[in-house]
Amino acid sequence: MTTVTLAGSTVEVDPEGFLVDAQQWNRQIAQEIARANGIEQLGDRHWQVVNFMREAYLETGSAPSIRSLGKTSGVPIKELYELFPKGPAKLASKIGGIPKPRGCI
Amino acid sequence: MSDTIEKVSIIISKGSLEGIYPGLIMANGARMEGIEANVFFTFFGLDAINKAKHEHVKVATVGNPGLHLATWAGGVPGMSALVTHQLAREMEKLDIPPIPEFVEMIADSGAGLYGCKASVDLFHLSSDDFIPQVKEIITVGEFYGLAGGGQIIFT
């Protein structure tokens, strides 16, 4: 575990940069992680996905698969990849301050 | 060579359920990691993108030692359908989509889907037989051209 400063807050991250404690997250941190991962400004559609992932994780203890993300987040798969070209589930989790999804699908 | 994978081209050559899924899972998994992916369907693997057949892909129950089923039992009428049905139910629990939906998902993720020209000719098929997500029917030479700069995975 490493301690880093994101948007003025001190947070713990894993070796890949995912927040260790989802409670340390806030929207400024999200924006800073997004920028470091090639998304200059988080738009409404980005937020829709990030919030969906985060809420699903906090509710169920695991992040949704890309399939259910496409079906239930309100953002279809094609657009998910346009919003997060480097991998929607992975990147939205990182930005949302939740652990990296462990599923294969 | 870089120590991260940036691009993969996956060949799916078999037409059984267990022959098609691994390639699809690897292609989808590549896109999920932000890795560029192409999928090349050849021989019976074409069934995965064939409009008339992709809903009817089955587990091979004959000559499949992995099932640990007596050879005679594998040939019992309906056995293949039964095993396929059971497996499909288990996969749904893991949120693994059926083949038609999975292929569409992979196309939507930005992966390129291609059919093999030699196989298409061999089976007297044409591009009309395939789902619209298939970009093109290409030769093996064109496939190598597309695969340039990446890894090739044969399944």
pLDDT in tens, B35-89: 999 999 999 999 999 999 999 999 999 989 999 999 999 999 999 999 999 999 9
Cβ of B32 within 8 Å of Cβ of A87? The answer is yes
Distance from CA of B26 to the nearest CA of A (A): 9
Q: What is the pLDDT of residue B6?
A: 95
What average pLDDT does range B111-125 have in this prediction? 96
DSSP string spanning chain A?
A: -EEEEETTEEEEE-TTS-BS-GGG--HHHHHHHHHHTT-SS--HHHHHHHHHHHHHHHHHSSPPPHHHHHHHSSS-HHHHHHH-TT-HHHHHHHHTT-PPP----
Q: Tell me whether residue A104 is one of the annotated catalytic residues.
A: yes
Residue A101 lies in a domain: no
Given a cut of 60, whether residue B93 has pLDDT beyond it is yes
CA–CA separation, B22 and A95 (whole Å): 30
Q: How confident is the model at residue B1 (pLDDT cuts 50, 70, 90)?
A: low
**Contact residues on chain B for A70, CB-CB shorter than 8 A:** 105, 108
Range(s) of the domain holding residue A74: 2-95
Tell me if residue B131 falls in helix, strand or coil. Answer: coil
Find residues 55-94 of chain B whose CB sits inside 8 Å of chain A: 94
For residue A17 the two structure tokens come to: 């940069």
**A67 interaction partners in chain B (CB closer than 8 Å):** 95, 97, 105
pLDDT, mean of residues A22-50: 94
Instruction: List residues bridging with B115 in a β-sheet.
Output: B41, B137
Domain boundary assignment for chain B: 13-123+131-154
Count of beta carbons in the 10 Å neighbourhood of residue B81: 13
Distance from CA of B140 to the nearest CA of A (A): 28
Give pLDDT, residue A103.
81
Classify burial at B99, counting beta carbons within 10 Å of its beta carbon; exposed 0-12, middle 13-18, buried 19 or more: buried
Quick one: residue B77, left, alpha or beta (phi over 0 = left, psi -120 to 50 = alpha)?
Answer: beta
Judge whether A89 lies within some domain.
yes
Say what the pLDDT of residue A1 is: 72
What's the predicted TM-score (pTM) here?
0.92
- Domains: count for chain A: 1
Of the listed A1, A3, A41, A104, which one is catalytic? Answer: A104
Q: Name B138's bridge partners.
A: B116
Tell me, what amino acid is at A30? A
pLDDT tens-digit readout, A51-105: 999 999 999 998 888 998 999 999 999 999 999 999 999 999 999 999 998 888 8
Determine, yes or no, domain membership for A65. yes
Cβ atoms of A98 and A19 closer than 8 Å: yes
**B95 to A90: CB separation less than 8 angstroms, yes or no:** no
Dist. CA A15–CA A19, nearest whole Å: 10
Give the CATH number of the domain where residue A35 resides.
Answer: 1.10.10.370
What was the pLDDT predicted at A32?
Answer: 94
For chain B, percent of residues with pLDDT exceeding 90 = 95
pLDDT at B75: 92
Which residue in A47, A105, A6, A76 sits closest to A39, CA to CA? A47
Q: What is the domain class of B13-123+131-154 according to CATH?
A: alpha beta
Q: How far apart are CA B22 and CA B93, in angstroms?
A: 17
